[in-house]
Chain A
Amino acid sequence: MTGIATRATRAVASSEGRRRRLNGGGPRAGTVIAFLIPFFLPFVLFYLVPVGYALWQSVRVVRRTGGQYGTSYTTFGGFEQYAEVFQNSEFWASIGRIGLFGVVQVPVMLFVALIMALLLDTPLLRLKSFFRITAFMPYAVPGVIAAIMWSYLYSPQLSPIVDLLKGIGLEPDFLGPGAVLWSAANVSTWLWTGYNMLIMYAALQSIPQELYEAAKIDGASNWTIAWRIKVPIIAPSIVLTTVFSIIGTLQLYAEPAVLRQISSNISSTFTPNMLAYAVASGNNYQQAAAISVVIAVITFVLSFGFMRLTSKKAGL
């Protein structure tokens, strides 16, 4: 009896299994939605809606009825806010500053990260886990706190580095008008070199060893293997770290904001984000929204542009 019952249930189960498989093997729509909704509801509310709201705000303008003291109201303004952004010399100054920052800091940081990753991947190096952890450690430090730490190392009163350089007859001014941008760049480099190194190192470790053996048999030196084999293979990771770095550079806020507390050479509109915040603090939300949208668009264009450019060149 039990035997028959089991056989019967098994037959039902397997026929149901077959039917499900024919239907695509998935669960019901309600179940799928139940899995997706806990993420998508906040995603829509706190990502998509604000993006839409910023776009909406950016095409609004505040006008007044009558003269300067009339009541104000907001209305559709087309691209008026954007025209104002592009005519704003402070906006271009902040973009120029951040452009200079990125053009120097990103390549320097990624080059150091790449060299470290390649060295960690050779048998030449000992104490690998020590070097790996040391370089990655700054990733656990928030930008604000990193900037506070470095600002003590920059400050003329407290810094052992300034003392040291004075000892050999130099007069460094890390917070001076020409240097402060690079002092901020140093904080970013300190924070992110190890993170980028680890992304590249992880990619290096997934390359099969046989490839190197084959190259060695063909007479390739370690140097050739590194530049001709390893670097091209991990090119996608290098592109990825570059895109992350471009996004990070355009979003720069915390580090210069902290350095601003001790240096008069950082204005309240030093980076595009600082400008957007300064404008929003002046209650001009429509203008701040337009600036935010422009920053986001520049981020998109540069990130995608870089990805397309490199993928065409490398044939990836």
Chain B
Amino acid sequence: MSSQPAIRESRVSRTAVMALMFLLAIYFLLPVYFLIVAATKPQGDLASTNGLAFSDFNLFENLRVLFTRSDGIFGLWAMNTVFYAVLGAAVGTLISALCGYALAKFHFRGREFLFSVILGGVLVPTTALALPLFLLFSATGLVNTYLAVFLPSIVSPFGVYLARIFANASVPQELVESARLDGAGEFRTFFSVAFKLMTPALVTIFLFQFVAIWNNFFLPMVMLQKESLFPITLGLYQWNGQTARAPLLQQSVITGSLVSIVPVIIVFILLQRFWRTGLAAGSLK
């Protein structure tokens, strides 16, 4: 009998908690839902029909227009994005892993100093770097090339920080020692022993760096004038600025936004166990 009020109380709070979380979930889903609905509509229906309800299904025509507009430049932007973000994150992860592993497993003079310099790098705003980089790159003729965006993107101080934590946590010192006793060189030890043990961590670093490059709007905007070198974000930004003069672009901006984010969201859902461990490690200070 005495437990009755407690049960009622927990039912009330359970309902309240679920209601609150559903409200928040609607908030997070709303813009994406709106985008999905809008991407399926003909341009004419965008303003004249309810934004949250489907009208005529025109998605495939919208996609065709999107990918054929300006000689198919959207497809080029998509490939550029893959180049900047996927390849940049892959190279960045590898060099972060080598450096973080060395900082974790090798004892040498100046180790802590180097690590503090890298940690200081985490605090430097990337936007503060972009303008001086532009001046340096224009002096060396690198502005308006793929490399102008790619090269600075591979550097991730945060990646080194994570790699060091992960190397300490997942590569036992005894294993490194015994590989040395077996006569394996340090690189052999790294690639055949440590690399495998660190794989989940490396996927995490890759994902974080991928998002950082994918999100970095300021650097490509400063470096690139040639439209053919743009990543999707910069291209859509430019189209979006032209919709006042060319209203038909609106539908392509909407469809293009959907095309650009849905694959990334799916990858994130599929790989969630990786970024969750990454966040867990990042939060342990």
**Chain A interface (Cβ < 8 Å from any Cβ of B):** 13-14, 17, 20, 24-27, 29, 31-32, 34-36, 38-40, 42-43, 45-47, 49-51, 53-54, 57, 112, 115-116, 119, 122, 124-127, 130-131, 133-146, 148-153, 157-160, 163, 190, 193-194, 198-200, 202-203, 205-206, 234, 236-237, 240, 247, 250-251, 253-254, 257-258, 261, 273, 276-277, 280, 285, 288-289, 292-293, 295-296, 299-300, 303
Contacts and interface: CB of A to CB of B under 8 A. Distances in A.
B102 A32 contact: yes
Nearest to B10: A124
A81 to B, nearest CB: 13
A35 B133 CA distance: 26
B253 interface: yes
16 contacts: A34-B187, A35-B102, A35-B190, A36-B99, A39-B98, A46-B129, A122-B17, A135-B24, A135-B28, A140-B267, A148-B253, A149-B34, A247-B123, A251-B127, A258-B240, A299-B125
Contacts of A163: 50-51
Contacts of A112: 24
A105 to B, nearest CB: 15
A35 B268 CA distance: 30
* A-B complex: 7 closest residue pairs judged by Cβ atoms: A160-B51, A35-B102, A39-B99, A202-B280, A50-B132, A54-B132, A149-B31
B187 to A, nearest CB: 7
Contact of B129 (A20, A47, A134, A135): A47
Interface centre among A46, A49, A151, A293 (most CB of B within 10 A): A46
Contact of A119 (B17, B243, B254, B264): B17
B131 A289 contact: yes
Contacts of B229: none
Contacts of A300: 123
Interface in B173-230: 177, 180-181, 183, 185-187, 190, 211, 214-215, 217-218, 222
A68 B49 CA distance: 59
B108 A280 contact: no
A139 B211 contact: yes
A285 B261 contact: no
Interface centre among B177, B215, B233 (most CB of A within 10 A): B215
Interface in B137-171: 151-152, 154-155, 157, 160
Contacts of B8: none
A57 B269 contact: no
Chain B interface size band reads 35 or more
A236 B234 CA distance: 36
B207 to A, nearest CB: 9
Nearest to A316: B285
B198 to A, nearest CB: 14
B211 A140 contact: yes
Contacts, number: 269
Task: Identify whether the interface residues of B are mostly helix, strand, loop, or mixed.
Answer: helix
Given A32-B102, A205-B280, A295 B128 contact: yes
Contacts of A237: 283, 285
Given A158-B46, A292-B132, A145 B236 contact: yes
A39 B160 contact: yes
A237 B96 CA distance: 23
B151 A277 contact: no
A207 to B, nearest CB: 12
A193 B25 CA distance: 12
A152 B38 contact: yes
A230 to B, nearest CB: 14
Interface in B1-42: 10, 13-14, 17-18, 20-21, 24-25, 27-32, 34-35, 38
A145 B260 contact: yes
Contact of B99 (A38, A280, A295): A38
Contacts of A35: 98-99, 101-102, 106, 186, 190
B25 A149 contact: no
Given A277-B222, A292-B128, 19 more contacts: A35-B190, A36-B102, A46-B152, A57-B135, A125-B14, A125-B18, A125-B21, A126-B18, A134-B25, A144-B233, A144-B236, A145-B257, A148-B240, A148-B253, A152-B34, A199-B283, A253-B127, A254-B233, A254-B237
B106 A26 contact: yes
Nearest to B126: A251
A261 B21 contact: no
B265 interface: yes
A24 B111 CA distance: 14
Given A26-B107, A31-B186, A148-B257, A40 B132 contact: no
Contacts of A303: 123
A296 B131 CA distance: 13
B272 interface: yes
